[in-house]
Amino acid sequence: MTTATVDPELLQRGGLTLDVDGPRATITLVRPGALNAQTPLTWEALRSIGESLSAGPLSEQVRVVVVRGAGRAFSAGLDRRFFGEQEVDGLPGLAGIAALSDDDADATIAGFQSGFSWLREPGRVTVAAVQGHAIGAGFQLALACDLRVVADDVQFCMAETGLGIVPDLGGTYPLVHAVGYARSVEICLSGRRIGAEEAVATGLALRAVPAAELDVAVDALAASLVVAPPAAAAETLALLIGVADGADPAAALAAERAAQLRRLRALAAGEG
């Protein structure tokens, strides 16, 4: 197992570890004493990981990314300091963002979002292994992944609206795609918690397992996702994402034709 080329100090300050083992990368939130609460440095470190996995040899090596939390929670959301301080670890908190110009505030939030958005790129499959609390930013991090496997003690909650703010880390789009508009309205405005059974029934989670079996279940899933040839898998992911993003039937058919032609020509050229 190796560590990818991300600044170790940034990972440490962001409360993350990154390990790469063959075609699998594992990102672990490692602030269990704070229930893996997130800070702006967490998002900066996530963005740096995404850049590392999208460039150079790792872009071809890594085909599945697992995101997990150490301890009894996946992530309890935002670090409390983010609510009350102008700056958190040298980056703006909520009050600091409010004091910025419109352009600077927009750029700041866009930077935060970029720590999550790369998880949905078609070059790899991303899996969230979720146990315990996945609240607010923790819920949005899980939603950023393609697939979610949950422990039977999971508690999802979109807490932002009840705190007077909104989900702004990219969570609204995958939430509506997973459970539909009406259910998303109820989840966000009520701020209620969603357990494992409901998560599976509504499409938030692929499957639920006993907490003690979560790592084994995720390992098995990750292994199964890298069986197909890499180029064919990437093309298929791109097709599915296109449909999920609203491609109409004719556009989906055209995308399939183009992707298949690329595959056939690559195979004919012996490129696999």
Domain ranges, ordered by start, for the chain: 8-224, 230-268
Q: What's the confidence (pLDDT) of residue 264?
A: 97
pLDDT digits (tens, 9 = 90+) for 247-257: 899 999 999 99
Q: pLDDT tier at 57 (50, 70, 90 boundaries)?
A: confident
Fold adopted by 8-224: 2-enoyl-CoA Hydratase; Chain A, domain 1 (3.90.226)
pLDDT surpassing 90 at residue 153:
yes
pLDDT surpassing 70 at residue 31:
yes
pTM exceeds 0.85: yes
User: String of b and e for 188-215 (b: at least 16 CB within 10 Å)?
Assistant: beebebbebebbbeeebbbebbebeebb
pLDDT digits (tens, 9 = 90+) for 203-223: 999 999 999 999 999 999 999
Q: Give me the mean pLDDT over the 92-100 stretch.
A: 90
Q: What's the confidence (pLDDT) of residue 91?
A: 83
Q: What's the confidence (pLDDT) of residue 262?
A: 97
